[in-house]
Amino acid sequence: MSGLASYACFFFTVALTYGVATLGLNLQWGSAGLFNVGVAGFAAVGAYAAAWLTAAPAAGHWGGFQLPIALGWIGAMAAAALAAAILGAITLRLRADYLAITTFGAAVTIELVALNAQTLTGGPFGIAFIPKPFEALADRPLAFGAANLALVAAVAALAYWALERLTGSPWGRVLRALREDEAAAASLGKAPDAFRLQAFVIGAALIGLAGAMQAQFFGFIAPDNYLPVLTFQVWVMLVVGGSGNNRGALLGALAVWALWSFSGTALAALLPGTLQARGAALRVVAIGVVLAGVLLLRPRGLIGERATVSRHISG
Amino acid sequence: MTALAVRDLVAGYDPALPIVRGVSFDLAGGAILALLGPNGAGKSTLAKAVAGLVTVVSGSIHLRGTPLGDVPAHARLRRGLGFVPQTDNVFAGLTVAENLAIAAAILPRAGRAGRIAAMLTLFPDLAAARRGAAGRLSGGQRQMLAMARALIAAPAVLVLDEPSAGLSPKLVGVVMARLRDIAATGVAVLLVEQNVRAALAIADHALILVEGRVAHAGGGATLRDDPAVAALYLGGRHAA
Amino acid sequence: MIAQILVDGITSGAMIGLGAIGLTLTYGLLRFANFAHGEFATWGAYLALLVAGAIGPADPLGPLTFGWPLLAALAASMVLTALLAAALDGVLFRRLRRHGSAITLVIASFGASLALRSALEFGFGPQPWYYTRDIAMTVRLGPGMRATWDQLAVLGLAIVLMLAMHLLMTRTPLGRAMRAVSENPDLARLAGIDPARIVRVTWLLGGALAASAGVFLGVTVQLRPSMGFELLLPLFAAAILGGIGSVPGAMLGGLIIGIAEAASVPLAGAQYRAAVAFVVMLAMLLVRPSGLFGGRGG
Ligand SMILES: Nc1ncnc2c1ncn2[C@@H]1O[C@H](COP(=O)(O)OP(=O)(O)O)[C@@H](O)[C@H]1O
Ligand SMILES: [Mg+2]
């Protein structure tokens, strides 16, 4: 019974870290219309920054500053924000689909650096022994799990509250106006690029924070945690929940993480032993099909996006 | 026989917000109908609805007696409808010859060269520029190419959206004269225009569209001489 | 060494160019960046593996490592992948085009890409496959300049395919219609062209050319489920470099990316090869977003 309860704690803890990443993506896409296909890259930047700042010195990689976890998370947000500021300054003035391609390219490049800059990142072996929050409770699984869940729930709630305030503020209204009709908003004297860059940077900071939290809960990171499939997961969470809606973002994260975990368990139970290793691939196919289905059948997601003006193309 | 018959046409970009709100007219072969009215009245929308580029909400369009309701835009040229849009009316990245060849492709293979030659005779300016990109043509030449492209398949109805826009008064005269020649061969011409004087000079009939409805209709000469009409809808500024 | 960089760069650049043609055409026509395009190359390579396996072994052609079965498999896989591309458009993209925004399409293509790749990984496993285990024979082209006969054969075939594609686009009614629809879909409809037909043809051609790139990559390197996905960034870079919608642009862009990648190896090491396309693409977007051939970017 307590095994189930601590599993539930673990499940919701991980789901809520995804929820924070989805909130960040929702600010970028749902509010500002910025198309970030490099979620995994920003999560990686946050995760490695937190690992460097909080872990003990080790021979295999850089860092080892042993700072408190809270400082590690702030550092992670700052690092992801900086990466977004640099990339955004170059690409935000370009068309939406070029931003998609360049953020994708940035994520691929970040993954390459994580894999190959051995002395910094530990290369393919990654970074281990990242301190966990509430390590003192580690021998009491339920209390440990509950404390972690309480922490990440508090962070997610804080992020949710801050984003609701932000998107409801005049700043958020300008963002939405820009998304709907750039020409009209620009004619009101709002500099579109500055607003967009701010949304892009804040969103990336949240994604970096999510990466840092995951690193800290798992205690271990490696480059193959930050493959494009992570980007895809977060996007599916947003699309399923309904973009433009912070509650939908959190709900989508929960629903898709549940589906992901469940399909993993189901495949493990159903597939014969020889195919187990390939089961992970089938899981991605399943999630891809779910996404296509949602896009085709419920394009506004579970909760539903507020009505937006989208440009249709013919052919 | 009626080449183009439009009945109670309601059309627009959003079914809830029709732009054309119940327009009817008939156009006979060999006649020119001028479609006039202030900016935003829905003239272009009406023309595009006839061409199949804008959704028809209700009402009907008949081309030589057959309804066009379900005929997609790309099949209307074959049915005998040529359309010259107001802007972007040539393929700028293709050569003049390629522009003509594209529209000629719907003709039987044997007839293509002859029709292209006929167009180059009708618009001699184009013959010299054949190998060049259409994007390099002058405004007047572009308009000629767009008309040639629409005419090449020998349509029964030719619809033009503001062919005089951006042309010098002299070129406007040339275009209007060409249109009169074209109508004289039996083609029905629907001429959307802002240049009221030039259009009424060649039109047999005219409609004045205001907020998607026909506000005035009559013979070209009658409307031209009607001072009330001129004052109300046409405005002195257009009487160039 | 410079000469060797050119040889390697031109061969891989030709494959990038072949793949980028389809990408730039669908991008120009449908105004959406198809992240699943690289998977057509992967599927093409694996489909050829299946077909060649079904035909059975045969003597290699001259100094090459493969025989006629692989050429037959290349043709078959181009046809099959063309159908796959058209089918993906039919069941997914076409419906989304009717209801969604261009961005929905991009996300759907990202999902389709992962699903297509993972399906192959499920079927063939993550380990590499080879069309043949024979050792490729090399030929000395000049001082410090070597290539395998396989590389030369692949380069020759790629040039033939590109030339054919170029002639199709510039000399045939179909190519003319494709350029017309890409430039102005509404006007093309008014000129009697059915855009749906052109869209279908474009997917077929793009899928077939991507498949050929995948087979060539399989011949000169190996087959892995991620081969096409790793090609995606170079493909986008080539398409943007050449100007979206431009076929000669995609070919030239592919060549430039291929040579830049090969040139980066002695400087930064082979492991950063994939980042080169990203850097070249960023530089191009900063300097001239419409591309060398002035496509529809900006
Ligand atoms: N593509 C479009 N989408 C939505 N509304 C349009 C579009 N084109 C024109 N309109 C609207 O339709 C109305 C009529 O436009 P139009 O037919 O171009 O008028 P006209 O040609 O008489 O000047 C205008 O209010 C215009 O804003
Ligand atoms: Mg108009």
Q: Which amino acid is at C196?
A: A
**Looking at domain C2-287, which of 1.10.10, 2.30.30, 2.60.40, 1.10.3470 is its CATH number?**
1.10.3470
Ligand nearest to the CA of B40: 1
User: Which chain B residues are Cβ-neighbours of C187 within 8 angstroms?
Assistant: 85, 88-91
- Confidence category of residue B236, pLDDT binned at 50, 70, 90: very low
Ligand 2 mean position, distance from CA C99 (Å): 27
pLDDT surpassing 90 at residue C14? yes
What backbone torsions phi and psi does residue B11 show, to the nearest 5 degrees?
-150, 155
Q: Residue B240's pLDDT is what?
A: 37
Residues of C engaging B, defined by a Cβ cutoff of 8 Å: 173, 176-177, 179-180, 183-184, 186-195
Query: Helices (DSSP H) in chain A: which residue ranges?
Result: 2-25, 39-54, 69-91, 96-116, 118-121, 141-168, 170-180, 182-187, 192-218, 228-241, 246-270, 276-297
Residues 6+ apart with CB under 8 A from C202: C22, C25, C26, C29, C178
Closest CB to C108 among A108, A231, A292: A292
CB–CB contacts below 8 A, A to C: 157
How does pLDDT run across C114-167, given as a tens digit for each residue?
Answer: 999 999 999 999 999 999 888 888 888 888 888 999 999 999 999 999 999 999
Report the SS3 class of residue C157: helix
- What's the rounded Cα separation, in Å, for the pair C38 and C88? 13
User: Which chain C residues are Cβ-neighbours of B103 within 8 angstroms?
Assistant: 191-192
Cβ <8 Å between C184 and B88: yes
Tokens 């010195």 correspond to what residue?
A57
pLDDT surpassing 70 at residue B233? no
CA within 13 Å, CB half, A276? 6
- The residue of chain A with its CA nearest to that of C287 is A90
Sketch out chain B's domains with CATH numbers: 2-80+155-238 (3.40.50.300), 90-154 (no CATH)
For chain C, helix (H) and strand (E) counts, in that order, are: 12, 2
How does pLDDT run across A82-97, given as a tens digit for each residue?
Answer: 999 999 988 888 877 8
Q: Give chains near B: 3+ CB pairs under 8 A.
A: C
Answer whether B113 touches C (CB < 8 Å). no
pLDDT surpassing 50 at residue C231? yes
Ligand nearest to the CA of B13: 1
What backbone torsions phi and psi does residue A292 show, to the nearest 5 degrees?
-60, -40
Q: Residue B110's pLDDT is what?
A: 93
Q: Residue B237's pLDDT is what?
A: 46
CA angle at C164 for the pair C274 and C34, rounded to the nearest 5°? 40
User: Which chain B residues are Cβ-neighbours of C189 within 8 angstroms?
Assistant: 52-53, 72-74
Q: Residue A189's pLDDT is what?
A: 64
How does pLDDT run across C163-218, given as a tens digit for each residue?
Answer: 999 999 999 999 999 999 999 999 999 999 999 999 999 999 999 999 999 999 99
Distance to chain A for C251, nearest Cα, Å: 19
- Can you list the positions of beta strands (E) in chain B? 2-12, 20-28, 32-36, 55-63, 66-67, 81-84, 157-161, 188-192, 205-210, 213-219
pLDDT surpassing 60 at residue A310? no
Q: Residue A190's pLDDT is what?
A: 64
Distance to chain A for C274, nearest Cα, Å: 7
More confident call, B87 vs A281 = B87
User: Which is the closest atom of ligand 1 to the Cα of B209?
Assistant: 22
Residue whose CA is at the smallest distance from ligand 1 atom 16: B42
How does pLDDT run across B18-46, given as a tens digit for each residue?
Answer: 999 999 999 999 999 999 998 999 999 99
Closest CB to C187 among B52, B85, B106: B85
User: Which chain A residues are Cβ-neighbours of C118 within 8 angstroms?
Assistant: 280-285, 288
Which of B68, B74, B159 to mutate: most C Cβ within 10 Å? B74
User: Which chain C residues are Cβ-neighbours of B72 within 8 angstroms?
Assistant: 189, 194
Any idea what DSSP says for residue B95? B
Answer whether C99 touches A (CB < 8 Å). yes
User: Which two three-digit tokens encode residue B63?
Assistant: 């081309």
With pLDDT > 90 as the criterion, what percentage of chain A qualifies? Answer: 53
Which of B91, B99, B147 to mutate: most C Cβ within 10 Å? B91
Ligand 2 mean position, distance from CA B45 (Å): 7
Which of A34, A92, A97, A312 to mutate: most C Cβ within 10 Å? A97
Q: Residue A168's pLDDT is what?
A: 87
Instruction: Give bridge partners of residue B133 from the DSSP assignment.
Output: B95
Distance to chain C for A307, nearest Cα, Å: 12
User: Which chain A residues are Cβ-neighbours of C101 within 8 angstroms?
Assistant: 310-312
Q: Residue B40's pLDDT is what?
A: 92
Contact of B29 with B67, CB cutoff 8 Å = no
pLDDT surpassing 70 at residue A313? no
Q: Residue A3's pLDDT is what?
A: 80
- The residue of chain C with its CA nearest to that of B80 is C192
- The enclosing H or E element of B111 equals helix B109-122
Report the SS3 class of residue C59: coil
pTM of the full structure: 0.90
- The residue of chain C with its CA nearest to that of A283 is C118
User: Which two three-digit tokens encode residue A271?
Assistant: 């597939």
Tell me the three-class secondary structure of B137-191, residue by residue: CCHHHHHHHHHHHHHCCCCCEEEEECCCCCCCHHHHHHHHHHHHHHHHCCCEEEE
pLDDT surpassing 80 at residue A188? no
Work out the average pLDDT over B41-70. 95
Residue whose CA is at the smallest distance from ligand 1 atom 24: B40
- What's the rounded Cα separation, in Å, for the pair B16 and A313? 20
For a mutational test of ligand 1's pocket, the pick from B20, B45, B214, B233, i.e. the residue with the most ligand atoms closer than 8 A to its C-beta, is B45
ipTM confidence: 0.91
Compute how many other C-beta atoms are within 10 angstroms of the C-beta atom of residue A15: 23
Whose CA is closest to A53, among A231, A216, A250?
Answer: A216
- Confidence category of residue A307, pLDDT binned at 50, 70, 90: very low
What backbone torsions phi and psi does residue B165 show, to the nearest 5 degrees?
-60, 130
Residues 6+ apart with CB under 8 A from A254: A12, A15, A19
How does pLDDT run across A130-155, given as a tens digit for each residue?
Answer: 999 988 888 888 899 999 999 999 99
Ligand 1 mean position, distance from CA B33 (Å): 21
More confident call, C76 vs C110 = C76
Closest CB to B51 among C184, C190, C193: C190
Give the burial string for B140-168 (b: 16+ CB within 10 Å, else e).
Answer: bbbbbbbbbbbbbbebbbbbbbbbbeebe
Rg of chain A, C-alpha, whole Å: 20
Instruction: Give bridge partners of residue B84 from the DSSP assignment.
Output: B160
User: Which is the closest atom of ligand 1 to the Cα of B39?
Assistant: 23
Distance to chain A for C179, nearest Cα, Å: 14
pLDDT surpassing 80 at residue A157? yes
pLDDT surpassing 60 at residue A220? yes
Ligand 1 mean position, distance from CA C183 (Å): 22
Residue whose CA is at the smallest distance from ligand 1 atom 1: B13
Residues 6+ apart with CB under 8 A from C194: B72, B74, B75
- What's the rounded Cα separation, in Å, for the pair A155 and A18? 12
Closest CB to A313 among C97, C126, C272: C97
Work out the average pLDDT over A229-257. 90
